[in-house]
Structure 1
Amino acid sequence: MKTNKLCSGTVGTVWIPRNILLCASVSATLLTLSTGAQRLNAAEALGNSEDRQGIEEIIVTARKRTENLLDIPVAVSVLSEGKIAATGVRDITEISDFTPGLTSQGQGAGGLPDRSANRLVFRGLSTSFGSVFINGAPYTADNSPDVTDLERVEVLTGPQSVYFGRATFSGALNFVTKPPSDEFQARLSADVGTDDYNEFRGVVEGPVLDENLSVRLSVRHYDFGGQYRSAVNGIDLGEQRTDNVTVALASSPGDNLDMSLFYAFSREEDSHPATAKLQTFGTTPLLDCDLGGTNAYYCGRLPDYSDIGSAQIGDNIVVTDLIRDVFVNNSLDLSGFDLGPSLDHFGLKRDIHHVNGRIDFETDAGWQLTTLASYTQTSLTNLRALIGRDTSDVPNIFRSPDPATAAQQPDFIQLAGLAKRETNDLFGEFRISSPQDNRLRATAGASYFKVYGPATVGMLMTNIGPLPSTFDGGTDSGVETSAVFGGIYFDTTEDLTISAEARYQWDSISQKTVFPVPGPQLEKTFKSFSPRLTADYQVAPEHLLYATFSRGYKPGGFNSVLPTLDPELAAQVPPGFDSFFDEEQLDNYEVGHKGNWLDYKLRTTLALYHMQLTDGQVSEAVFLPGPPATPMTLVSNVGKVDLRGAELNADLFVNDHLTISGTLDYNDNEIKQSVFSDGLFIQGSTDVSGNMLDHVSKVRLSLSPVFSFAGPGGGTVQLRFDWLYRSKWYIDNSNSAYVPARHLVNSRLTYDLGDKYSFELYVKNLFDDDTLAEALRAPETLYSETPPMLTPVITPTQNTIFTGLPEQRRFGIKFSVRF
């Protein structure tokens, strides 16, 4: 059975395009970047017998077909299988450390840095649901896929709507799995470390059915005990547990036909995230900067974890009898609480099923036909404490004197939220491409995408008892998207190619408010045309210059609460808000260079961009005087942002003993127009024009020297250092409080004995940098150390900063064996 198929068709003609590697085979072998004895000769792997020493070729599928990284005029960064293993990255957040143009942080409801949601930011702009893919198929689980048995991770920056859809208006992240081997082999690994860290993996693969089918089965178990404890009750924070099972099948029943199927199941179960709340520091007010807002705030550099102290860590995460009765046992018989897996502690639990399949057929004449389909089901239960401090010993003075009513009210001050949701998606795509060895080439296709599921349910436990909540739902939503797309590629000369690509898409979105007040069914179809025009010029062998204009859209949505308001309240809604808000538009102007230098010993890819965001979707806190007094969050299209930046990847092969890899990410953005409602509480004004977007660093760097030398017993030893730098970033658009620069250094010593055994010693965060991992302004809730001492409702006028605590220094040992 084949695991790779080079392009078919005539190449001995007068015209031979430089991108002759355009193949449709899903099982094309990645030529990874590696070092020393592990290097794979690129020329040989590409069918060229000429031996050359240096940096290897890398193959990508950024335009839904197999291409040489240096031949594609698209800004894309690649983490190969070898680099994933060498760096020890575990998730999207760590992947982003090595990829310019992408940052990622866990950011669930209330700003808590848990694994319930990944906030992906491409070139400074947050993406909407649906920017992560597995083998080119949408993966809507809103978490990080398992990195077991990946061939590579492709990070594409800038609008990628043409081939990946409108949800990728600022970027896309594609996980490409390895095809199963056509030879029997197995691998086992055990990774153990401090803080009760352990990870066990097992893989077995090989041919079946007389070598017409290859199969791989992978299993993984991961545990992390966390590094922080609640200051009062000692409950562990930040614990994580994941179990993964994946099955991959591949078959090539004919010379021109490849078929593959991939299935993955994942279960995650975590404790409450490790957070601290910045409001007081001992007896000294921490938020003591008066910017003219409703209350004091924090000006300048936020403290590191060591400056906060362990006394600030904790929350009321005790599962009381009332919490268990209502949230776990569903004593109130609430509809929808059968969604998601059961959970009996603060934290989250999530089950994910994902399957995708692909068929590639190439005619004898070189025409390529591809069919791709996928399905994802995600079920999540999340129980969170939302006060930010431990109040398990603060009596609840709002309890009713009526025993029957008091039975449904907590004994002590409490604010806990439970959310349950289930999401399903279906995706299908068909694509046809003309022979790729012609001067004029074309690709055309159509796709269908559907997201559906029951309404998310939510419940708050407050001082006055359980209340329905919309903090993580309250609506029944659906999406159906149809699209046609294509591209024309013309080699005007042997060195100059002009490309015109586009997607036309119909997004039919529906939404209905379920609680607290049922609303009407809202429906709207958003239409968009997303073009990309590119000129790329081969200025010299192995050196490509390109210029691109592309446009992306972020789908619109609904302010579904507005139709539920009675006429008196509706009349109080400020002008500019409607039942629906329109789509965002992003225009991207980009030039770049890709090339090999020094006889293939240095490879660089550089992209310079200028992007303009218009009709940005801006959330605003709106308060209606009533009666009844009604706070709400509404969205309008008032945002405008200019973004400029540079992205650089570089790999240098010095000699057989030293390679150096590095990245540079520079992002300079400016808000031209926006409304920041929280600015009223911080600075007395909603105007943030001229400021930077939140959570965006101007500079990020990575530098990774790798030393390789012969070891005992005929083995190979590698010593690797990864320096990861991120400059300061503001926690909100007021640009007052910021998290300072971070310097993170990881180190890994690997000993490989032939092709069978591998032993690793590593340390993460070698110098124990304790810069905060996350920080976000949130309203003060239910309990304050300044009068009034106790309040029964959320008080948005109080300024509070929730923080995510950093991963501290951690040591580990990993052992692997291959059969």
Structure 2
Amino acid sequence: MKFRTIVCAGSALAAFALPAAAAVQPVATEPGPTAPTEDAATAPAAAPNPLDIIVTARRRAESVQSVPLAISVVDARTLESTGSFNVAKLTQLQPSLQFYSTNPRNSAANIRGLGAPFGLTNDGIEQGVGVYIDQVYNSRIAAATFDFLDVEQVEVLRGPQGTLYGKNTTAGAINITTRAPSFEYEGRAEATVGNLGFVQAKASVSGPLIADRLAIRLAASTTDRNGTIYNVTSGRRVNEQDNLGFRGSLLWRASEVFKLTLSGDYNRQNPECCAQIYVRTGATQRPLNRQFAGLAAAFGYAPPSTNAFDRRTDLDTPLDAFQEIGGASLRAEWEVGPGTLTSVSAWRFWNWAPSNDRDFTGLPITTRSNNPSKQDQYSQELRYAVSGDLLDYVVGLFAYHQKQRTTGVQEQGIAASRWLLNPTSANANNPAVLNGLTSSNNILFTSTSLAAFGQVSWKVTDRLKLQPGLRVNYDRKSGNYVATVTNGAGVALDCTVIPTTNTVLRDQCATLPPQSYNPRFSDWNVSGDFTASYQFDRDVLAYATYARSFKSGGINLAGLPLDAGNRPILGAQTVRPESVNHYELGLKTQLFDRRATFNLAAFWTEIGDYQATVTNGQLGVLRGYLANADKVRVRGIEADVSARPTDRLTVYASGAFTDHEYVKFVDAPCPPELSGGTAPTAGQTPSLPGTAGGISPSNCDISGQWLPGISKWAFSYGVEYNHPVMLFGLDGQAYAAFDGNYRSKFSSNPSRSAYTDIAGYAVANVRAGFRATERWDVFGWVRNAFDRDYFDILATQSGSTGLIVGQPADPRTYGLTVKRRF
């Protein structure tokens, strides 16, 4: 059996991370130290608070409260106790972090609503949120779907990070640090069982191989859970989890000033996943007999349930989401002169072997739609960091090369002609026209990036610091897209010239067009930022930031739209770089002898040439392509409050208000209610939304509308209370905890539709248990305690049929976790 985790939570909030401008203090069994009474100006070098959370957001170790940056930190204890075992689960603790995934390849991590286009992944563009594990950039967002393995802490950096982290961080970065090898013997083990057949186990050991010189660390984890959706066709539960991970590292202290860390990891997932199921239908502009209800009636078809929360489907194509990811890195740290020289060399691989049902029904419309991929990446970074009395600075060089090959296939079934062809076509009711029509794709992609960067923090006075940063970046991308299409008899299509009388060939070429093109892109850009910060006293820091950043241009590698002659529009091969202007004000404070933290951040981000997913207007084409929206804007306020009024009680609340819109996007794809009709001719006016058999606009002006995936309001909150007890002869604490989160309504379509808004929801989690010092921790948990029904994501079916599909979020889950340190 296969399983999936939903480890519950209440938060052991001391050690809890706050999603706005800082993090809460770690749990302590003794009262924290009293804040120094000296003024910061007279005692700038006072010893750090032992409760300070140390981060490396600026590529050097420092207290999170001293970093003039909107950053939140989640430590290992919080990750484990709240069941936040991957980035998707982490979003419940971080109001400004969003993660959407219809399968591991088609995933997007966004911060403040920005980062990646909403919809199917296009390999030719960058993510806007960089995922870094032990200082190594992971170019595939699929890395964010794997379980955290032996993680020390996760830092979420909000806002452009282009100076130190690169072009792929226009929205922010997720910086993951794993536990380092130890020169003292130690071990950790954790086992969890729960409903839905959930089983999760984690273990790690560390210790010296050569005293004070060579240490090793080994870790492994496994997660299994039954699926949450029952497929009546196969008789199996789908959307399960089946994860396995291994990690090892060696630390060699060659001398007092030089050390090497060699790390390697391998992670594998092999779940029967990922089903999107019937949610509802909406009126489009296709004729009624070509909308979902009419088409289903013509086939005598009905979905197994019209209530998505019955969690039943009848998909007739096998599902698979097999992937493996891993690699090796070598980090060298050498104290040279006044600073530290760091070299990070890395190789990463990613293999993806999916099987999807892209018509989302039990009918043979699209019988295969798979895009298996293999990728290798190589990166090298050199940095020199110095912390001085007047100046702190980091300078560096970065080189990166990626190569990927995708061999996709899409095959149409016997129901495809009626479902996908234009209703005016003479072949619309002839199943032989599209049955067996197959597109075999061979896609190659290479990307090379080179960069030089630097950041300086100038201590103008003991209170005032000025921090300019600059990065010069060069990108070169090239691709090769070849789609060979054969009909049901296995004969290759030639669509270069289509006789007007050959309607069969015309319809076949319009549905799966053979294409061959070789996109190229190269460009230089300069990113920069400037931050001024002022330390009003030891526990109050204010800062202001301006950043000018870029997201690299891209190439379309999912097929191009066609012109009136069924020829690819080669002008759509590339998309322009995004340009980002970002402004931010922040305040970081600690109060009441540092028993309370209150942080604020206000931001305003504008993006020109925003890279958006555009739905292909031709009927039958499943995939969209990329285009540039003129301008989008996101602005908002984030706040954190956390407190430990006594040693027994900790509380926190974090919230984000985010205003967002397409400022100008005049040629956007139209929403479903304005799609599927006939094209307008000169002088014709498009029909009203949902007019069956109406006239559809060729594109829509969605200026002023919402961006997808962003809630205007988002909150997370929690409380924990503990009490000293003795149990089984062990001194420890009994504790109970609650945590929850809320998101207001958001759009789940690139162009907002009445059919794809996801209603707001609140989720509550509880936990109670016993921990004995730092050795034992045993607790029971319930996640989604009130069994709230809500959707993670909604999407539309190809062909403007009006079918809306989605992924119901996990139902209530519960279980027991036992942890042991030795």
Same fold (TM over 0.5): yes
Counterpart position of 1:77: 72
Bigger mean CA offset, 526-535 vs 114-123:
114-123
Q: Quick one: distance in 2 between partners of 1:797 and 1:195?
A: 36
Of the three residues 41, 54, 62, the one matched with 1:59 is: 54
Q: Quick one: distance in 1 between partners of 2:644 and 2:382?
A: 40
Conserved? CA contact 2:322–2:354, under 8 Å = yes
For residues 296 and 598 of structure 1, do their structure 2 counterparts lie closer, same or farther at Cα, with a shift above 3 Å needed? farther
Counterpart position of 2:509: none
| Residues 549-568 of structure 1 aligned to structure 2 (within 5 Å) | 549-559=546-556
The one-letter code matched in structure 2 to 1:437 is G
**Displacement of 1:654:** 1.1
For residues 31 and 178 of structure 1, do their structure 2 counterparts lie closer, same or farther at Cα, with a shift above 3 Å needed? farther
Residue 816 of structure 2 corresponds to residue 813 of structure 1: yes
Question: SS where residue 187 of structure 1 aligns?
Answer: strand
Residue 358 of structure 2 corresponds to residue 386 of structure 1: yes
Conserved? CA contact 1:726–1:743, under 8 Å = yes
Conserved? CA contact 1:316–1:389, under 8 Å = yes
CA deviation map 1:314-336 (0-9, x unaligned): 13336xxxxxxxxxxxxxxxxxx
For residues 560 and 182 of structure 1, do their structure 2 counterparts lie closer, same or farther at Cα, with a shift above 3 Å needed? closer
CA deviation map 1:567-609 (0-9, x unaligned): 9555x959xx443221011110101011211110111332100
Conserved? CA contact 2:365–2:412, under 8 Å = no
Residue 408 of structure 2 corresponds to residue 457 of structure 1: yes
Counterpart position of 1:326: none
Q: Quick one: distance in 2 between partners of 1:88 and 1:294?
A: 47
Bigger mean CA offset, 638-647 vs 376-385:
638-647
Of the three residues 323, 336, 341, the one matched with 1:350 is: 323
Residue 711 of structure 2 corresponds to residue 697 of structure 1: yes
Counterpart position of 1:664: 655
The one-letter code matched in structure 2 to 1:380 is W
Counterpart position of 1:301: none
The one-letter code matched in structure 2 to 1:176 is T
Residue 600 of structure 2 corresponds to residue 611 of structure 1: no
Counterpart position of 2:162: 161
The one-letter code matched in structure 2 to 1:34 is P
Count residues with an aligned counterpart.
697
Residue 752 of structure 2 corresponds to residue 734 of structure 1: yes
Conserved? CA contact 1:609–1:646, under 8 Å = yes
Question: SS where residue 519 of structure 1 aligns?
Answer: strand
Of the three residues 483, 487, 496, the one matched with 2:455 is: 487
| Residues 295-444 of structure 1 aligned to structure 2 (within 5 Å) | 308=307, 313-317=312-316, 345-363=318-336, 365-391=337-363, 415-434=367-386, 436-444=387-395
TM-score between both structures, scaled by the size of structure 1: 0.79
**Displacement of 1:295:** 8.7
Q: Quick one: distance in 2 between partners of 1:505 and 1:450?
A: 14
Q: Quick one: distance in 1 between partners of 2:58 and 2:748?
A: 35
Of the three residues 538, 542, 557, the one matched with 1:541 is: 538
**Displacement of 1:139:** 1.6
**Displacement of 1:48:** 10
Q: Quick one: distance in 2 between partners of 1:619 and 1:189?
A: 42
Residue 644 of structure 2 corresponds to residue 676 of structure 1: no
The one-letter code matched in structure 2 to 1:259 is L
Q: Quick one: distance in 1 between partners of 2:34 and 2:344?
A: 29
Identity %: 21
For residues 100 and 413 of structure 1, do their structure 2 counterparts lie closer, same or farther at Cα, with a shift above 3 Å needed? closer
Conserved? CA contact 2:399–2:451, under 8 Å = yes
Unmatched tracts of structure 2, length 5 or more = 1-21, 37-43, 117-125, 294-303, 415-433, 485-513, 677-688, 690-695
Q: Quick one: distance in 2 between partners of 1:32 and 1:705?
A: 12
Q: Quick one: distance in 1 between partners of 2:195 and 2:56?
A: 38
| Residues 418-817 of structure 1 aligned to structure 2 (within 5 Å) | 418-434=370-386, 436-460=387-411, 462-463=413-414, 466-469=436-439, 474-516=442-484, 517=514, 519-559=516-556, 569-570=566-567, 573=569, 577-623=571-617, 633-674=624-665, 675-679=667-671, 680-681=674-675, 683=689, 684-685=696-697, 686-713=700-727, 714-732=731-749, 733-737=751-755, 738-779=757-798, 796-817=799-820
For residues 115 and 573 of structure 1, do their structure 2 counterparts lie closer, same or farther at Cα, with a shift above 3 Å needed? closer
Question: SS where residue 801 of structure 2 aligns?
Answer: strand
Q: Quick one: distance in 1 between partners of 2:93 and 2:621?
A: 45
| Residues 39-188 of structure 1 aligned to structure 2 (within 5 Å) | 56-106=51-101, 113-127=102-116, 128-129=126-127, 131-141=130-140, 142-144=142-144, 145-188=146-189
Q: Quick one: distance in 2 between partners of 1:694 and 1:701?
A: 18
Residue 284 of structure 2 corresponds to residue 270 of structure 1: no
**Displacement of 1:619:** 3.5
Q: Quick one: distance in 2 between partners of 1:58 and 1:771?
A: 35
Conserved? CA contact 1:231–1:311, under 8 Å = no
CA deviation map 1:359-401 (0-9, x unaligned): 11223x422211112111011100011222223xxxxxxxxxx
**Displacement of 1:163:** 1.1
Conserved? CA contact 1:117–1:143, under 8 Å = no
Conserved? CA contact 1:519–1:564, under 8 Å = no
For residues 494 and 168 of structure 1, do their structure 2 counterparts lie closer, same or farther at Cα, with a shift above 3 Å needed? same
Unmatched tracts of structure 1, length 5 or more = 1-29, 107-112, 280-285, 299-304, 319-344, 392-411, 780-795
Q: Quick one: distance in 2 between partners of 1:201 and 1:634?
A: 41
**Displacement of 1:701:** 0.5
Residue 37 of structure 2 corresponds to residue 34 of structure 1: no
| Residues 216-235 of structure 1 aligned to structure 2 (within 5 Å) | 216-235=217-236
Counterpart position of 2:19: none
For residues 255 and 95 of structure 1, do their structure 2 counterparts lie closer, same or farther at Cα, with a shift above 3 Å needed? same
Q: Quick one: distance in 2 between partners of 1:478 and 1:287?
A: 41
For residues 40 and 137 of structure 1, do their structure 2 counterparts lie closer, same or farther at Cα, with a shift above 3 Å needed? farther
Question: SS where residue 100 of structure 1 aligns?
Answer: coil
Conserved? CA contact 1:70–1:594, under 8 Å = yes
**Displacement of 1:253:** 2.8
Conserved? CA contact 1:294–1:797, under 8 Å = no
For residues 293 and 697 of structure 1, do their structure 2 counterparts lie closer, same or farther at Cα, with a shift above 3 Å needed? farther
Q: Quick one: distance in 1 between partners of 2:274 and 2:393?
A: 49
For residues 57 and 291 of structure 1, do their structure 2 counterparts lie closer, same or farther at Cα, with a shift above 3 Å needed? farther
Q: Quick one: distance in 2 between partners of 1:249 and 1:79?
A: 25
Conserved? CA contact 1:196–1:226, under 8 Å = no
Q: Quick one: distance in 1 between partners of 2:618 and 2:808?
A: 36
Q: Quick one: distance in 1 between partners of 2:761 and 2:286?
A: 27
CA deviation map 1:696-747 (0-9, x unaligned): 1011101110111112231212211111111111122224231111111111
Conserved? CA contact 2:520–2:574, under 8 Å = no
Q: Quick one: distance in 1 between partners of 2:229 and 2:564?
A: 50
Conserved? CA contact 2:789–2:811, under 8 Å = yes
Conserved? CA contact 2:23–2:73, under 8 Å = no
**Displacement of 1:38:** 8.0
Question: SS where residue 84 of structure 1 aligns?
Answer: helix
Q: Quick one: distance in 1 between partners of 2:660 and 2:48?
A: 46
**Displacement of 1:635:** 3.3
Question: SS where residue 93 of structure 1 aligns?
Answer: helix
Conserved? CA contact 2:778–2:819, under 8 Å = yes
Question: SS where residue 351 of structure 2 aligns?
Answer: strand
Question: SS where residue 163 of structure 2 aligns?
Answer: helix
**Displacement of 1:351:** 1.2
For residues 600 and 297 of structure 1, do their structure 2 counterparts lie closer, same or farther at Cα, with a shift above 3 Å needed? farther
Measured on the aligned residues, the alpha-carbon RMSD in Å equals 3.3
